[in-house]
Amino acid sequence: MRMMNYYTIKIIIYFFMSRSLLKLLFLFITAVPLLAQKKYSFDQICARTSVQVAQKDIPKALKTADSLYITAKNPLDKVKSLLLSAKLYHAAGEFKKSIYYGENAHSMLSHIDDAEWLCRTNEFLAREYRLVGLFERSKKYTLQGMEAAKHIIDTREKAEMLGLLNQEMAYYEMEQGDYPEAVKYIELSLHSFAKDNIEDNKKKNKRAVAASYQILGDVYFKLKDYVTSESYYHKAQSLLKNKSCTLGLVYNGMGGIRLKQKNWKGAEIYLKKAENIADSSRSLKLKKAVYSNINDYYEGIGDNSKASIYAVKYVKAYDSLTARNREFAIKSPEALVKPNRKSAQISMVKNAAIMLLFAALVAIVVFFRIKQKKQRAKFRNIIRTQLRMISSRSESSPLKKENSDFSNISVEEVDDRTGETGKRKSESLMTSETESKLLERLDEFEKGELYNNKNMSLSFLAAELNTNTKYLSYLINRHKNADVKTYINRLRINYIVDKLINDDKYRQYKISILADECGFSSHSKFASVFKAVTDFSPSSYIKYLDAENQSDKNTHFRENN
């Protein structure tokens, strides 16, 4: 009995102790966040997450930002956490999400009277929209930011914001081609940064000042004042100690100056430094600029093999940048922001107005698409007419090869050493059945793209068509009214013309890339043949096409100011 009572008492004591331990453990767990909250304020946690945590682990930083939003006690703290998320997504290269969070922060600020954070959010959105190619929308937020900056009480914060916003206006003016106006805004930017006399903030603003000098370097490069341009690039370089996108652009600019001066050795030194930064950067703008200059460098020294490698890299960066920008241009930026409950309660009148506007927009798009198709069809007919005229000219004097359109210019050489081309036989070399079969194979060949092969020659094509060079040469002379060289070059130019008409991105490529695309070994040979076929130089032809398609720009979403 005593033994039983002893164990019973022991179990009861253990039970109460266990409950006490659980309580103690619970109090300890809940106390940790409270202690942490006392140790770090909301702003301090935002700053630590943005600087320290984000550099090591962006997903972890994003979770912290979400937690801050949930625990935020007032609307301004929610704005701060949203802008923190936006900056983290920017660092991760996810611009759609960064703009989404930035726009949500901006929406909340319409109910809060805080000039500093309104200015910060406008500056962030202005920069993001510039990076995705929406320059008018970027300008809209820049001007809103400048207006908000007038009401900032803290002079240091006001100076910093105005410095950054003036940079954004400089970018906008550069895009418009107004370089003198861009210089004015950069000078205002530097003047604003100079107002900050606190030493710690001077260090913080070094990168912003360096960016201003880098922009000035770009502006004077565009103005072909290479001496002034380089002096500003050097100023920017002296302020940048660590690798950054701005430093990559500085090295690329200095390399570009030496390319213009044909200082190949100097260009190589700076472009290698720029490439080292571009390869590890998320910036498509930097990659595109650097790979373009490196391509020019290798073309300048005559290394076509390496030039082709960087041409491919440039095209890849260009296509990625274009795809990203097109995604934002097609979708209205307001669609990135989640509607709140108030905005969801739209009146019937407003819905009807939206429907009418949408119908009008669709009608405009359809109109311009139809007009564009007609223009393209008209342009194709012009080219086809030119090709038929060339064919008729060659038919009228098939025996005089030296008087053909391609005889007196430098063109791509296609091996035709059999001596049979240009020699019209009065009698057929083959049976009519063989001739018909070969013509069918030749038609199939024209439907493909094999003629763009750089190894194309008479013997190569004869092997592909399973015939001999005599038969093939005779067939092309008789039925295509041309020698093999003219026939292949005509197919190549016809191919690239169709690409230029039907695919906008081809009009952005360098002439050397277009030449390589359709099998020519050099820029000059391609240009000569192109002009012989179309009566246009490649660059003039592209400008003509761009002018014809200018109406496309009217179908983009317009800004709602």
34-56 pLDDT, tens digit each: 344 444 576 676 666 665 555 66
Query: Among 156-170, 233-247, 330-344, whose mean pLDDT is lowest?
Result: 330-344
Q: For the purposes of burial, counting CB atoms within 10 Å of the CB of 256, is it exposed (0-12), middle (13-18) or buried (19 or more)?
A: buried
- Distance between CA 10 and CA 286 in Å, rounded? 74
- Whether the per-residue pLDDT at 418 is higher than 50: the answer is no
Query: Average model confidence (pLDDT) for the chain?
Result: 76
Write the DSSP symbol of residue 425.
-
The answer to whether 130 touches 167, Cβ cutoff 8 Å, is: no
Kindly state the tokens that stand for 206: 């070094």
- In order of their start, the domains of the chain are 432-554 (1.10.10.60)
The mean per-residue pLDDT over the stretch 436-451 comes to 88
Q: Between residues 510 and 550, which one has the greater pLDDT? A: 510
Q: Between residues 223 and 12, which one has the greater pLDDT? A: 223
The answer to whether 325 touches 133, Cβ cutoff 8 Å, is: yes
**What's the pLDDT at 314?**
83
Q: Choose among 482, 495, 414, 498: nearest CA to 448.
A: 495
Q: Choose among 163, 206, 204: nearest CA to 187.
A: 163
**What's the pLDDT at 57?**
76
* C-alpha dihedral sign at 317, 321, 324, 326: negative
- Distance between CA 334 and CA 200 in Å, rounded? 38
The mean per-residue pLDDT over the stretch 473-487 comes to 86
Kindly state the tokens that stand for 35: 């202690």
Query: Among 293-302, 369-378, 532-541, whose mean pLDDT is lowest?
Result: 369-378
The mean per-residue pLDDT over the stretch 340-347 comes to 46
The answer to whether 477 touches 421, Cβ cutoff 8 Å, is: yes
Q: Choose among 206, 297, 220, 228: nearest CA to 258.
A: 297
- Whether the per-residue pLDDT at 505 is higher than 50: the answer is yes
- Distance between CA 68 and CA 85 in Å, rounded? 10
The mean per-residue pLDDT over the stretch 280-287 comes to 85
**What's the pLDDT at 64?**
82
Q: Distance between the two ends of the chain, CA-based, in angstroms?
A: 90
**What's the pLDDT at 138?**
92
Q: How confident is the model at residue 317 (pLDDT cuts 50, 70, 90)?
A: confident
* Percent of the residues in the chain that have a pLDDT greater than 70, as a whole number: 70
Q: In 155-283, which residue ranges form alpha helices assigned H by DSSP? A: 155-176, 179-194, 199-204, 206-222, 226-239, 245-260, 264-279
Which amino acid type is present at position 530?
F
The mean per-residue pLDDT over the stretch 468-477 comes to 85
- Whether the per-residue pLDDT at 515 is higher than 50: the answer is yes
User: Taking the C-alpha atoms of 309, 314, 316 and 321 in order, what is their torsion angle to the nearest 10 degrees?
Assistant: 170
Kindly state the tokens that stand for 416: 């035709």
Provide, for the chain, the percentages of residues in helix, strand and coil under a 3-state DSSP scheme, each rounded to the nearest 5: 80, 0, 20
Query: Among 261-275, 357-371, 455-469, whose mean pLDDT is lowest?
Result: 357-371
The mean per-residue pLDDT over the stretch 153-159 comes to 88
The mean per-residue pLDDT over the stretch 423-447 comes to 75
**What's the pLDDT at 410?**
34
- Whether the per-residue pLDDT at 555 is higher than 70: the answer is no
**pLDDT tens per residue, range 420-430:** 444 444 345 67
**What's the pLDDT at 309?**
87
**What's the pLDDT at 144?**
92
Q: Between residues 203 and 150, which one has the greater pLDDT? A: 150
The mean per-residue pLDDT over the stretch 257-273 comes to 92
Q: How confident is the model at residue 419 (pLDDT cuts 50, 70, 90)?
A: very low
**What's the pLDDT at 404?**
39
* Percent of the residues in the chain that have a pLDDT greater than 90, as a whole number: 19
Query: Among 61-70, 151-160, 188-197, 328-337, whose mean pLDDT is lowest?
Result: 328-337
Q: How confident is the model at residue 341 (pLDDT cuts 50, 70, 90)?
A: very low
Q: Between residues 3 and 358, which one has the greater pLDDT? A: 358
- Distance between CA 217 and CA 230 in Å, rounded? 6
- Distance between CA 400 and CA 269 in Å, rounded? 53
Query: Among 313-322, 481-490, 537-546, whose mean pLDDT is lowest?
Result: 313-322
The answer to whether 481 touches 398, Cβ cutoff 8 Å, is: yes
- Whether the per-residue pLDDT at 141 is higher than 50: the answer is yes
The mean per-residue pLDDT over the stretch 433-445 comes to 86
Which amino acid type is present at position 105?
A
- Distance between CA 538 and CA 493 in Å, rounded? 10
**What's the pLDDT at 503?**
83
**pLDDT tens per residue, range 360-412:** 787 787 776 776 666 566 565 655 555 555 455 444 433 333 333 443 333 44
Q: Give me the phi and psi of 82, to 5 degrees please.
A: -65, -45
